[in-house]
Amino acid sequence: MSDASLSERGYEAVPLPDRRRFGDAEMVERAERFLAEMKTRHSVRDFQAAPVPRRVIEACIETAGRAPSGANHQPWHFVAVGDPDVKQRIREAAEAEERAFYAGKAGEDWLSDLTPLGTDAEKPFLETAPWLIVVFAERYRVDADRKIGKNYYIGESVGIATGMLITALHCAGLATLTHTPNPMRFLNEICGRPENEKPYMILVAGHAAEDATVPRHAKVKKPLSEIASFL
């Protein structure tokens, strides 16, 4: 297709902004430095109540918003909850679901796979941590005239954005926990989000408690030789 016909249809290009080019040695150094930084990320379940500035959360959500997405539709919405009453409602609803889950709904295999993590239906961190970031995936779009439009690769797009959010929060110096009560439709009502958005997960963020622990099991990561092949 000719450039002229593409541009008639709305395509326009700009020169690549922020071009970067490091030497090989510097690239290795940067990659390894970032690996070392990310090796200090641990999922944490014990948080301090200490407040965290809203701007930290805003900047991290802006980072998540830089993620690639299907047709650049950016099919995500982040609800940052700092209000203690809202956090309490989320905790109560989540624990109600978790009690049913741990009482048997999960099934034997799932419960036995969770044993090394030591988790149960009690989720005090949903109230203790200063921020809960509820991530919603936009299943389809609704424009100003209520016209419905498609989104693409929604799970992939929101997953990448959530990964970038976790990474940004970690680099800012915060501990996080990915939390997925099952089912979690109750989050639409509490967060006031529309029907076309599906709760994806809750990201709990704050400072780790002084006596926070992590399950030994969670620290065993597969080596490079197991997770990658080079052809």
**Spatial CB neighbours of 165, under 8 Å, sequence gap ≥ 6:** 60, 61, 63, 64, 78, 133, 135, 203
98 binds ligand IYR (CB under 6 A): yes
User: Considering only residues 32, 182, 194, 195, which one is a binding residue for ligand IYR as defined by CB under 6 A?
Assistant: 182
Structure tokens at 173: 């110096």
* Selected range binding ligand IYR among 84-92, 129-137, 167-175, 177-185, rule: CB under 6 A: 177-185
Helices (H) and strands (E) in the chain, counts: 9, 6
Q: Which of 56, 80, 86, 114 binds ligand IYR (CB under 6 A)?
A: 114
The candidate with the shortest Cα–Cα distance to 191, out of 93, 98, 80, 84, is: 80
State the helix-helix crossing angle for 24-39 and 154-172, rounded to 10 degrees: 80
CB of 117 to ligand IYR, least distance (A): 6
CB of 114 to ligand IYR, least distance (A): 5
Interaction mask 64-93, ligand IYR, x per CB under 6 A? ------------------------------
Considering the complex, state which of residue 98 and residue 138 has its C-beta at the smaller distance from ligand IYR: 98
C-beta separation of 26 from 43 below 8 A: no
CA distance linking residue 47 with residue 39, whole number of Å: 20
Extract the runs of DSSP E, i.e. beta strands, from the chain: 76-81, 131-138, 140-142, 148-150, 175-179, 197-206
Site for ligand IYR contains 206 (CB under 6 A) = no
- Span from 44-52, 113-121, 127-135, 203-211 in contact with ligand IYR (CB under 6 A): 113-121
- Contact status: 197 vs ligand IYR (CB under 6 A): no
Smallest distance, ligand IYR to C-beta of residue 55, A: 29
Which residues lie near ligand IYR (CB under 6 A)? 98, 101, 114, 117, 119, 179-182
